[in-house]
Structure 1
Amino acid sequence: MSQTSTVQIREVSDLVTKGTTPTSLGRKFTTSGVRFLKVETFASDGTFIPGREAFIDRQTHQLLRRSQLAEGDILFSIAGALGRSTVVEQAWLPANTNQAFAIIRPSTKRRSVVARYLLWQLRSPAIARRIAEINVQAAQANLSLEQVRDFEIPIVSSLEQEAIADALDDVNELIATLERLIAKKQAIKQGMMQQLLTGRTRLPGFTGTWMVSTLGTLARVTGGGTPSTRVASYWGGGIPWFTPAEIKAQGSGLVSSSERRITQAGLASSAATLLPAGTVLVTSRASIGNCAVAAVPVSTNQGFASMIPKDSRSTWFLYYWVQQHRSEFESRAAGSTFLEISASKVSAIPLRKPNLDEQAAIGTAIRDVDAELDTLSNRLIKARAIKQGMMQQLLTGRTRLPVEVSS
């Protein structure tokens, strides 16, 4: 296996240049014609976003000859969102770009480099660190073409470059697939909530009439409190004590561990109460309507209007109902310094409710989708960690991939 050597971008490129804005030449953008690619045309991972490109006419494209793009060119952002990169595809052509992108044309004349390998090197942690160093030194969010030309990357044989690019492309596709699955599952969940929590769609076996009522008929709503921070004996005990900042906007599901814990003495000295497992924790200030379900007995500060269900079958129905009807909480909030909704106002919020068994069934159905989302999200976290590890190993030469050389 050949040794890894280091080269500068200038050594493996036939061209490193940038474009210009048509208006600087007295030309105008058009509604159709030749694609004009900008940084915002691409997602952070380099994915082309249809509809985000601009257009110029062919005469302007000819005037901007220096920045006419070719298949296999690498676009690397040097202004704004630094380091955003992609490889130009044939389907985008003809196309042009502006001065926010460096155009890097992998060499066909000098030392050979595979475009996809070069792309991955430009996305590597080493290049990200170099960009950060340049920004600290220059105190400005841009790069010069000369700085891009000076970037150093490890170089291996063309066959190994292909193998490395293939491996990283594969894990990238896995991540993209998981992201699509999560987005699809989230849309399914949202549709279920809109249908099931309003009674528009009924689960099999349920036909009873939904009753017009209030949240207070399903749960006792209570606030929280904060023990004195001057008394050390009130803190560091065994009772979880939550603040609104710990509850996610999209719902935190079951929670049992908080950033701070209080003692029995702290509980007794304050307005905080011990909330039983199954309580729906609902934030009442700052971000109003964020919610979670207590997996164990917990307490909260005064930024909550938590709901203790009168029957455990209501727990998850209430949890998802709050998420779906956040505006009902926000519209009833008041306050001169910050908006807040009181426990009494939460109790009075109207809702249509099915019988307890149907509430439980609805909660279970939506929770099953949440469990699938959790599984997919954990797989996505692992895939991203694997990608990061692969980049650190493969793009530095610490780990080499075996390649077969044809005889």
Structure 2
Amino acid sequence: MKKILFIGEEKAKPQEHDVILSRRCNPGETGYVTGDLEIALGQNLVLLRADGETIYPPFLRWLTRGKYWWNQVDSFINVGAVFESLKCADIPKFEILVPSLEEQKLLTACMSSIDDKIAMNTQTNQTLEQMAQAIFKSWFVDFDPVKAKMNGEQPEGMDAATASLFPEKLASETGLPEGWKLSEIGDEVAVVGGGTPSKKNDDFWVDGHIHWTSPKDLSGVQDKVLLDTASKLTEAGLKKVSSGLLPVDTVLLSSRAPVGYLALAKVPLAVNQGYIAMKCEKVLPPEFVLQWCVHRMDEIKQRASGSTFAEISKKNFKPISVVVPSEEVLSAYQKLVKPLYDAITSNVRQSEQLSTLRDTLLPKLLSGEIELETSEEL
């Protein structure tokens, strides 16, 4: 057993590889410092720092996630009338099972390689999302291909076959490409809401297998695709949701608490009352509708109202204008952008699998149940 070096609170300056510990509000939870930070810690936060001799500093982040760590948290936690907490004086008393330095370095390399791949997937997805946004803005907001043709130029980065699908000029009366129309989103997609079956009725939830989502599921989603939900409904529970089971590629927009979370559903699911869900059953493909929401988000939020919290109703959402291009252009757009979201979805699935693998391996490695023999094998 080894005690972790305790640094202190408030005036302590975080350094790379330090761990910031919460004493209250989820006491025992930690965050990892990836570089020197010019910040002051609040009174409910403290720093942990490895000594570098018996604890390898980069290993500290993993050490504070194992069962021995949480056993110590449970041993020293104080249960108050309002909330649970840890005392500063008790934290240096934590005793944690620490492997040898060589084992610590091997474990850190293993865990970090998984985290690096997850981070790379996230970075790749951000680039793919930016590409999708750029194409949407160029084609359907700035009308760059049409303007290029009006100037006698070949649209940049576009082959001749795709360029031929765009009109030759903008209509003088509307400013839109000729043949395109201005419509309302409520006329172009099926806008539906959802509901929450009674949580008191086990028949609706226990052993459920049908995905059911609330906006909370999107709070941590960075990649605008939803593959899983925290809660699952039974068949009986699904019957209590008026909108029923929504298909894959339904566009999800949180309508309250807060307004503006977005995702493409990549599994069939039901939604609660905190969503505006858009089924793309006409000409507008889901990738187009998703990017339209991104582009019109300021107006969407401006149309929200409420005394307790902002909420946008279906009534206020449906009249928002949308430019509807020709079916040929929309088909070309989907052919170009859908593979981007397919790649994003694949990367998210892989990251989830890697995260599960990491969280499964970590306690086994920390306890010695699984051993890493040499760094060359990592």
AA matched with 1:144? A
Where does the alignment leave 5 or more consecutive residues of structure 1 unmatched?
1-5, 11-15, 23-35, 55-76, 87-103, 107-112
State how far apart, in whole Å, the 1-side matches of 2:55 and 2:35 are. Answer: 24
Residue 49, structure 1, aligned to residue 49, structure 2: no
Instruction: Write the mapping of 1:303-314 to structure 2, written as runs, cut at 5 A.
Output: 303-311=274-282, 314=285
SS in 2 for 1:351: strand
User: After the TM superposition, which of the residue ranges 188-197 and 210-219 deviates more from structure 2?
Assistant: 210-219
State how far apart, in whole Å, the 2-side matches of 1:255 and 1:50 are. Answer: 36
AA matched with 1:52? E
SS in 1 for 2:77: helix
Deviations along 1:103-141, one digit per CA (max 9) or x if unpaired, are x474xxxxxx46569958963532442244223279753
State how far apart, in whole Å, the 1-side matches of 2:237 and 2:258 are. Answer: 28
Deviations along 1:225-284, one digit per CA (max 9) or x if unpaired, are 5678999999999995845346414344367996334559956xx854665565434332
Q: Which residue of 2 aligns with 1:101?
A: none
Q: Which residue of 2 aligns with 1:38?
A: 14
Q: What displacement does 1:199 show?
A: 2.1
Q: What displacement does 1:389 show?
A: 2.9
Instruction: Write the mapping of 1:212-251 to structure 2, written as runs, cut at 5 A.
Output: 212-224=182-194, 242=212, 244-245=214-215, 247-249=217-219, 250=221, 251=224
AA matched with 2:214? P
Q: What displacement does 1:309 show?
A: 2.0
Q: Which residue of 1 aligns with 2:88?
A: 143
Percent identity of equivalent pairs: 20
State how far apart, in whole Å, the 1-side matches of 2:203 and 2:109 are. Answer: 54
Residue 389, structure 1, aligned to residue 334, structure 2: no
Q: Which residue of 2 aligns with 1:134?
A: 76
Contact 1:223 1:306 in 2 (8 A): yes
State how far apart, in whole Å, the 2-side matches of 1:294 and 1:198 are. Answer: 23
AA matched with 1:178? K
| CA distance 1:276–1:239, change in 2 (3 Å) | farther
State how far apart, in whole Å, the 2-side matches of 1:358 and 1:308 are. Answer: 20
Q: What displacement does 1:366 show?
A: 3.0
Instruction: Write the mapping of 1:261-340 to structure 2, written as runs, cut at 5 A.
Output: 261=234, 263=236, 266=239, 272=243, 275=246, 278-293=249-264, 300-311=271-282, 314-323=285-294, 325-340=296-311
Q: What displacement does 1:188 show?
A: 0.4
Contact 1:255 1:292 in 2 (8 A): no
Q: What displacement does 1:381 show?
A: 0.4
SS in 2 for 1:163: helix
State how far apart, in whole Å, the 2-side matches of 1:18 and 1:334 are. Answer: 47
Q: Which residue of 2 aligns with 1:346?
A: 317
AA matched with 1:253? L
User: After the TM superposition, which of the residue ranges 318-327 and 221-230 deviates more from structure 2?
Assistant: 221-230
Equivalent residue pairs, number: 322
State how far apart, in whole Å, the 2-side matches of 1:164 and 1:37 are. Answer: 29
Out of 326, 331, 352, the residue aligned to residue 378 of structure 1 is 352
Measured on the aligned residues, the alpha-carbon RMSD in Å equals 4.8
Q: Which residue of 2 aligns with 1:360?
A: 334
Q: Which residue of 2 aligns with 1:181?
A: 120
Q: What displacement does 1:53 show?
A: 6.5
Q: Which residue of 1 aligns with 2:226?
A: 253
Contact 1:288 1:340 in 2 (8 A): yes
AA matched with 1:350? S
Out of 118, 122, 130, the residue aligned to residue 191 of structure 1 is 130
Deviations along 1:73-96, one digit per CA (max 9) or x if unpaired, are xxxx9x74456334xxxxxxxxxx
TM-score by structure 1 length? Answer: 0.59
AA matched with 1:164? E
Contact 2:194 2:275 in 1 (8 A): yes
State how far apart, in whole Å, the 1-side matches of 2:359 and 2:373 are. Answer: 23
Contact 1:314 1:360 in 2 (8 A): yes
State how far apart, in whole Å, the 2-side matches of 1:305 and 1:118 are. Answer: 44
| CA distance 1:370–1:320, change in 2 (3 Å) | farther
Q: Which residue of 1 aligns with 2:151?
A: none
State how far apart, in whole Å, the 1-side matches of 2:101 and 2:205 are. Answer: 57
State how far apart, in whole Å, the 2-side matches of 1:392 and 1:285 are. Answer: 42
TM-score by structure 2 length? Answer: 0.63
Q: What displacement does 1:174 show?
A: 0.5
Residue 163, structure 1, aligned to residue 102, structure 2: yes
Contact 1:278 1:312 in 2 (8 A): no
| CA distance 1:244–1:359, change in 2 (3 Å) | farther
Contact 1:241 1:262 in 2 (8 A): no
State how far apart, in whole Å, the 1-side matches of 2:232 and 2:334 are. Answer: 31
Greater Rg by CA:
1
